[in-house]
């Protein structure tokens, strides 16, 4: 699967992963894509150029996940808190999202990639929602990969929405309060049809979660790189996955 014409990198690391037992590879990788603005500023470019370059990294990483056999990729595209940014930057980000979806939907379909979007729809304009919904509908038959875009997403907001939904079901007599369990909460999250991430990656060296998938990453392995998102591609993904397969995942128990 190839989405673009950038020179292939990181082939040696990728080849070494081919010999790994597929069951040891992460099934779901989630990425906090950070550092677009800093990458641009360090090169004397406007912040929007960092976002534009970051879109190319999305294509490269999605392709690399397909080559490695990683079926789920979740990208933190736009947080609930990002609305605090200047209006011209917000307008550019929404336009970039629309352009990406319009340009890439056919390629997603051709490569059997299903698109999902998690987050609140409130605040997103009708034209963005229309393009988003069309891309989701057209790609719903994809079976090789699932690309999840977290847009207008916040983990605390997600949990609040889940609690509200559960509360309504209890009030309506559809659910007993005593029957509420961890699985009940998981089934009411935006990610209810997805496996929890095995590997969480954050770019640009920041040491925080930033309100991303707080419930779902309880036992995710975390890998942080100082490289900004526009610098992140196949070699960096393969490095993260190579370290992941060497970790001892005990889930609170003993090996």
Give me the active site residues, please.
Answer: 34, 82
Query: What is the spatial distance between Cα 88 and Cα 90, in angstroms, rounded to a whole number?
Result: 5
Neighbours of 224 (CB within 10 A): 17
Q: How remote is the C-alpha of 193 from its chain's centroid?
A: 15
Q: Could you tell me which residues are beta bridge partners of residue 223?
A: 201
Q: Which helix (H) or strand (E) holds 148?
A: strand 145-153
Helices (H), 69-174: 87-110, 126-138, 155-171
- The residue written with tokens 């890439």 in the block is 104
Neighbours of 219 (CB within 10 A): 12
């Amino acid at each position: 699967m190839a989405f673009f014409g950038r020179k292939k990198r990181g082939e040696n690391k990728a080849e070494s992963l081919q010999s790994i037992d597929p069951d040891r590879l992460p099934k779901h990788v989630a990425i906090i894509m950070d550092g677009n603005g800093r990458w641009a500023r360090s090169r004397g470019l406007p912040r929007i150029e960092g976002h534009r370059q970051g879109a190319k990294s999305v294509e490269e990483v999605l392709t690399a996940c397909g080559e490695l056999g990683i079926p789920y990729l979740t990208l933190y595209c736009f947080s609930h808190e990002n609305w605090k940014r200047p209006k011209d930057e917000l307008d550019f980000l929404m336009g970039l999202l629309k352009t990406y979806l319009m340009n890439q939907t056919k390629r997603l379909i051709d490569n059997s990639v299903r698109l999902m979007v998690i987050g609140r729809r409130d605040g997103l304009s009708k034209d963005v929602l229309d393009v988003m919904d069309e891309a989701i509908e057209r790609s719903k038959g994809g079976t090789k990969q699932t690309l999840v875009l977290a847009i207008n997403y916040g983990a605390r907001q997600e949990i609040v929405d889940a609690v509200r939904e559960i509360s309504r079901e209890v009030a309506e007599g559809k659910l007993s309060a005593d029957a509420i369990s961890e699985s009940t909460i998981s089934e009411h999250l935006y990610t209810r049809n997805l496996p929890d991430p095995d590997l969480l990656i954050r770019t640009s060296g920041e040491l925080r979660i930033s309100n991303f998938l707080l419930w779902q990453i309880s036992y995710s392995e975390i890998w942080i790189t100082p490289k900004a998102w526009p610098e992140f591609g196949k070699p960096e993904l393969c490095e993260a996955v190579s370290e992941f397969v060497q970790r001892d995942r005990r889930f609170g128990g003993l090996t």
